[in-house]
A = this chain, B = another copy of it.
Amino acid sequence: MIRVVVADDHPIVRGGIVALLSAADDMTVVAEASDGLEAVRLAAEHAPDVVLMDLRMPGLDGDEATARILAATPNVRVVILTTYESDASILTAIEAGASGYLLKAAPQEEILAGVRSVARGEVALAPSIAAMLVQRVARPAVTLSPRETEVLALVAQGSSNPSIAAALFVSEATVKTHLLHVFEKLGVNDRTRAVTRAMELGLLGR
């Protein structure tokens, strides 16, 4: 019997997940959480086999909750179940130690099979996530340095190079250098496209 804690901030979605798992002969839902912090607390309290958790929740997101759950209860395995998110957020969850990443758009049988795999100690990835990881290994992702990200975020707010320089207590030449590095990394030629491209890649918040 696979013991599961379910965490999702949408009650109607959580209801659907609980109903699906409860109908399976080999699973039982031992607790339900509506945010990341509650998921961490219930995992510690119930020591389930699997925490099945959304990624985007109020307060504490699923990736941070994953890290905390695994730090506190290393025998628990975490499966992320979410709508498609950016490559960057998927990778953050996997780097945090999630053993599975499943999509809500998947057929119900695929979600059940994923939970079972993870309970057996395997890794379960939705096919599109697996494909993304394969591609990522073949061609490592673009990353921006913290400073580059900081400068680009100010660009996205409409700041000019001189005003960014003033805000960050550096010279315009420094701002410009950071931006040129960003353009190189993202393969773009101007600030506006850099912003939209970074958003597409999940490197800049929306």
List residues of A whose CB falls within 8 A of some B CB. 9-17, 19-20, 81, 83, 104-108, 111, 155-158, 160, 188-193, 195-196, 199-200, 206
Contacts and interface: CB of A to CB of B under 8 A. Distances in A.
Contacts of A105: 9-11
Given A12-B111, A15-B19, 4 more contacts: A10-B83, A156-B196, A192-B195, A195-B196
Given A190-B160, A192-B158, A108 B15 contact: yes
A156 B198 CA distance: 12
Nearest to A204: B196
A14 B111 CA distance: 14
Contact of A16 (B14, B83, B157, B206): B14
A27 B205 CA distance: 41
16 contacts: A10-B83, A11-B105, A11-B106, A12-B104, A12-B106, A13-B13, A13-B104, A14-B16, A15-B20, A16-B16, A16-B17, A156-B196, A158-B190, A158-B193, A160-B190, A191-B192
Contacts of A10: 83, 104-105
A193 B157 contact: yes
A154 B15 CA distance: 43
Interface centre among A9, A17, A19 (most CB of B within 10 A): A19
Contacts of A108: 11-12, 15
